[in-house]
Amino acid sequence: MPVYTYSALDARGKETKGVVNADSTRAARVKLRQSGLFTKELLETTAAETPERNRRLTLLQTVRRVRPQDITVMTRQFATLLAANLTVVDALTALIEQTENRTLQRTLIQVRESVLEGSSLATALGQHRRVFAQLFVNMVRAGEASGALPLVMLRLADFSERQLGTRKKITAKMYYPLFMIAISSLILFALLTYVVPTVTTMFTKMHGTLPLPTIVLISVSNFLQAYWWLFGLGLLGLFLTVRQYGRTVQGERLFDTWKIRAPLVGKLALKVAMSRFTRTLGILLHSGIPLLDALEIARAVVDNSVLAAAINTARDAIREGADIASPLKASGYFPPLVSHMISIGEKSGQLEDMLLRVAESYDNEVETSVEGLTSLVEPIIIVVMAIVVFGIMLAVLLPIFELNTMVR
């Protein structure tokens, strides 16, 4: 369907610009008129743009994908507009004008056109699964069905902002340790490929037997100097092999099990998954989505095949008449806090509130765990680097000590 850029006046006489999808120029003017806009100028983008500009826009759309930050900002703006009693079409029109991401803007245009053609907002959003997640679409569908779309969108905006904030905190905390690892690796590589060969050149001219640490150091240094590219290819090959194996069912299950069982990082990954699961399930139930459907959506949010399989098993047991807490506890992957609080919520009739409280608790634990992990990783990196540098120094100094002994 062609895309047109337009310049129009609204009911107050204010000029507005944007883009619209339509089968023809006439259909585009009709759609703008239905939206309360009086067209001043209407140009088809393919005719208004030069081939060079079209290539730049295509490249820009390829590079600028829709980021989680873009969706979060859009959700908050959409919720605010709906809370101000704007219609869905008017709110989408305002979002299209405010959105800077071209890919998201074009997606919203298509969503608005589908709504104008009679589709529900959830159905229109569901046609763009690469942009809008299943959770987003189902929350909107529940809001439309209950007649409380503004309230549901506000909850969804709060949820998106909290998830984005948690992700940013974890990422920010990991920047410094990763930076230290990268710098330490570069320093070690420079020592082995430049400094060590310069210092150990005279050792190769010695007729005596060199100490074992020195021989190992010279061998490693020579290998890196001559075959550093082979070392890089080996790391790349290992990475590709592991990634390919991780895409298989067996590999995915093995890696996902390791993620939640590994020392140090395993508990953190499990807490993040529990926070996502309980908050998503609580918000979905609060929005009126049935339990089995909510579990199906929450299953995809945990981003772990092992936990997803446990949730799926619990879902089957619940369908047969079981409670929620028992099958989750029996899986062995869900911490006691989750199963106990769910059990209390079921008995008291406050399951949604209990789930959200558990999510709050895990969010706080995640932040504390990340701080503790980073404070532990930093001295470990320093100690490891100190040991490696000490080993290099020892391997260099041992022949010198032996040479002094021979001279005496």
Question: Count of CB atoms within 10 A of residue 36's CB?
Answer: 14
9 and 38 Cβ atoms separated by less than 8 Å: yes
Query: pTM of this prediction?
Result: 0.66
Residues, the chain: 408
What are the structural domains, with CATH classification, of the chain?
Answer: 1-63 (3.10.20), 179-408 (1.20.81.30)
**How confident is the prediction along the chain (408 residues), in pLDDT tens digits per residue?**
566 777 777 777 777 777 776 777 777 778 778 777 777 777 775 433 434 444 444 444 444 578 888 888 888 899 898 888 888 888 888 888 888 888 888 888 888 888 888 888 989 998 888 888 877 888 888 788 777 788 888 888 888 888 788 778 778 777 878 888 888 888 888 888 887 787 777 666 665 577 788 788 888 888 888 887 887 888 899 989 988 988 888 888 898 888 888 887 888 888 888 988 888 888 888 878 888 888 888 887 787 889 988 999 988 998 888 888 888 888 888 888 888 888 898 888 888 889 888 888 888 888 888 878 777 887 888 888 888 888 888 888 887 776 666 545
17 and 94 Cβ atoms separated by less than 8 Å: no
CA distance 368 to 74: 30
Burial of 118: CB neighbours in 10 Å, binned 0-12, 13-18, 19+: exposed
Residues 6+ apart with CB under 8 A from 338: 274, 277, 278, 328, 358
CA distance 405 to 401: 6
